[in-house]
Amino acid sequence: MRHFKMVAATLAVSALAVLGSAGTASAKTQIQWWHAMGGALGERVEEITANFNRSQSEYELISTFKGNYSETMTAGIAAFRAGKQPHILQVFEVGTATMMAAKGAIKPVYELMAEAGVPFNTGDYLGAVAGYYTTTDGKMLSMPFNSSTPIIFYNKEAFKKAGLDPNKPPKTWPEVGEYGAKIVAAGYPCGFSTAWQSWVHLENFSAWHDVPFGTKENGFAGADTEFAFNGPLQVKHIQQLADWQKDKIFVYGGRRNLGNVKFTSGECGMYTESSAGYGGFKAGAKFEFGMANLPYWPDAAGAPQNTIIGGSSLWVLAGSKPEEYKGVAAFFNFLSLPMVQAYWHANTGYVPITTGAYDLMTKLKFYDDNPGRDIPILQLGAKAPTANSKGLRFGNFAQTRDVIYEELEAIWAGQKTAQQGLDAAVERGNAILRKFEKSQN
């Protein structure tokens, strides 16, 4: 009999496979939402989820944090390929073109809302935000969620020590250079640093100065677009940053927003970062800091134009049941309520996505009590967008961002001049675009 035990033990191991997948027998229709909001932002997401669930009794929204933006998108796509996709997937702005091209995998938001019979008007949403996720004929494909834009943060204490007026932030890049030199002279190891180097100093830089980042209206007018961010203005700017490193006016802090500690620790006096960095700075910095518009080059003809958004939107994936889509529509409707947006905006550094929420905040005198918090909104809407400042739409752009990071790092390290590095980035980026174009046929 003893050998039966052994066989049983082996079987038990295989039986583990069967364990665990017991679903809850609830009458409510469950809606799965995979998001990329960690830390305090994740707590806000949980609160919104809980509020939506309290607001009605038909649907149960379940939100799951799937890691950073790339991880979340990969998890969603892998799940789609396996037929186990969530209803809602949060995708960062650089994944937009990839998602748009995936017809058959996505359910456009305008279609979803129409089918569910939920009133929906693209015009209710902030132009700079909605435009990014809308087709050229005005149909919204994904639901804007967290949108931000780069601004400059500055350490008021450092400004005082450097003999600068803490209420007079730099307006232009030459001023950043001048102030940076004074801050370094006052004993700080670094004048200015940045997060999101590609997004701030190339993507937004191009929009802000009304120069093309790519051809074909930055990809909006066709997938046969090519990159153009190696123009004279971009080269001049990047070269200037590289040159400033000699005097520590500019110090490189790492990819994404890894350099944020350079600002919170007081090492750098000025820092360009997404407006969404506000919450982290508020929590981490021991000094008073101010916010201002992204600087520009005064000799550039088009500047300042308007900046573009970053952040992400919510995509609805294809392949679910109609009643579940109704639940998604109900949630999107809830999410667009001025109250909900006002809450999200007030508690994070993101901009509200509807004009209604912005009006509500203005009426509540939020911006009088919190000076500077409306800077991103005003900057996004500074002028009517041009072909260069609507946004970006490039396939596999996440991969191109990697390439840009690599080439910029080579420039900061002095291995390449700005011209050489940006030329190389454009060339490698174009190869990625062609590959993407090919995979679409």
Partner 1 sequence: MVGARPWLNILTHVILILGVLIVAFPIYVTFVASSHELEALLQTPIPLVPGGELLNNYTAALTKGAKAVGAPVGVMMLNSLVMALGIAFGKIAISIIAAFAIVYFRFRFRMTAFWMIFITLMLPVEVRILPTYKVVADLGMLDTYGGLIIPLIASATATFMFRQVFLTVPDELAEAARIDGAGPLRFFWDVLLPISRTNIAALFVILFIYGWNQYLWPLLITTDESLYTILIGINRMLAAGDDQAEWQIIMATTMLAMLPPVLVVVSMQRLFVKGLVETEK
Partner 2 sequence: MEKRVVFRNPVLPYLLLAPQIAITLIFFIWPASQALYQSLLQQDPFGLRTTFVWADNFIDLFSQADYLNSLQVTTVFSISVAVLALSSALYLAVQADRVLKGAMAYRTLLIWPYAVAPVVAGVLWLFLFNPTLGIAAYWLRELGYDWNHTLNGGQAMTLVVVAATWKQISYNFLFFLAGMQAIPRSLIEAAAIDGAGPVRRFWTIVFPLLTPTTFFLLVINIVYAFFDTFGIIHSVTEGGPAGATNILVYKVFRDGFLNLDLGGSATQSVVLMTIVIAFTVIQFRYVERKVHY
Burial of 15 per CB tally in 10 Å (0-12, 13-18, 19+): exposed
Q: Which is nearer to partner 1, 9 or 25 (CB)?
A: 9
CB of 422 to partner 2, least distance (A): 14
Contact with partner 1 (CB under 8 A): which of 142, 148, 194, 198? Answer: 148
Dist. CA 298–CA 285, nearest whole Å? 31
Dist. CA 239–CA 242, nearest whole Å? 5
- Provide the token pair at 244: 């400033």
Regarding 306 and contact with partner 1 (CB under 8 A), the answer is no
Q: Which stretch binds partner 1 (CB under 8 A): 12-20, 132-140, 214-222, 319-327?
A: 12-20
Contacts with 438 (C-beta within 8 Å, 6 or more apart), sequence order: none
x/- letters, 381..410, toward partner 1 (CB under 8 A): ------------------------------
Residue 90: phi and psi, rounded to 5, are -85, 125
H helices present in 245-301, as ranges: 260-264, 278-284
CB of 188 to partner 2, least distance (A): 13
Question: Tokens 């830390």 appear where?
Answer: 39
Dist. CA 301–CA 337, nearest whole Å? 39
Regarding 315 and contact with partner 1 (CB under 8 A), the answer is no
Q: Which is nearer to partner 1, 276 or 300 (CB)?
A: 276
CB of 70 to partner 2, least distance (A): 4
Regarding 288 and contact with partner 1 (CB under 8 A), the answer is no
CA pseudo-torsion sign 119, 122, 123, 124: positive
Q: Which does 161 bind (CB under 5 to 8 A by kind): partner 2, partner 1, none?
A: none
Q: Which does 168 bind (CB under 5 to 8 A by kind): partner 1, partner 2, none?
A: none
SS3 224: coil
Give the DSSP letter of residue 311. E
CA angle 69–72–341, rounded 5-degree value = 65
Regarding 78 and contact with partner 1 (CB under 8 A), the answer is yes
What's the length of the chain? 441
Regarding 43 and contact with partner 1 (CB under 8 A), the answer is yes
Q: Which is nearer to partner 1, 35 or 416 (CB)?
A: 35
Q: Which is nearer to partner 2, 28 or 428 (CB)?
A: 428
Regarding 257 and contact with partner 1 (CB under 8 A), the answer is yes
Instruction: With both helix axes pointing from N to C terminus, report the angle between 232-244 and 397-412 in degrees, rounded to the nearest 10.
Output: 50
Residue type, 273: E
Count of residues touching partner 1 (by CB under 8 A): 58
Contact with partner 1 (CB under 8 A): which of 29, 48, 59, 69? Answer: 69
Interface residues toward partner 2, by CB under 8 A: 10, 13-14, 70-71, 73-74, 77, 80-81, 98, 101-105, 251-255, 258-259, 261-262, 265, 267, 396, 398-399, 402, 405-407, 409-410, 412-413, 415, 428, 435, 438-441
Burial string for 32-61 (b: 16+ CB within 10 Å, else e) reads bbbbbbeeebeebbeebbeebbeeeeebbb
Q: Which does 304 bind (CB under 5 to 8 A by kind): partner 2, partner 1, none?
A: none
Residue type, 91: V
> How many Cα atoms occupy the beta-carbon half-sphere of 46 within 13 Å?
8
Burial of 126 per CB tally in 10 Å (0-12, 13-18, 19+): buried
Q: Which does 102 bind (CB under 5 to 8 A by kind): partner 2, partner 1, none?
A: partner 2
Q: Which is nearer to partner 1, 81 or 139 (CB)?
A: 81
Regarding 25 and contact with partner 1 (CB under 8 A), the answer is no
CB of 68 to partner 1, least distance (A): 4
Residue 414: phi and psi, rounded to 5, are 80, 10
CB of 73 to partner 2, least distance (A): 8
Residue type, 194: T
Q: Which does 413 bind (CB under 5 to 8 A by kind): partner 1, partner 2, none?
A: partner 2
Instruction: With both helix axes pointing from N to C terminus, report the angle between 338-347 and 322-335 in degrees, rounded to the nearest 10.
Output: 60
Which residues contact partner 1 by CB under 8 A?
2-3, 6, 9-10, 13-14, 16-21, 34, 36-43, 45-46, 64-69, 71, 74-75, 78-79, 81-84, 86, 148, 257, 260-261, 264-267, 274, 276-277, 279-280, 283-284, 286, 348-349
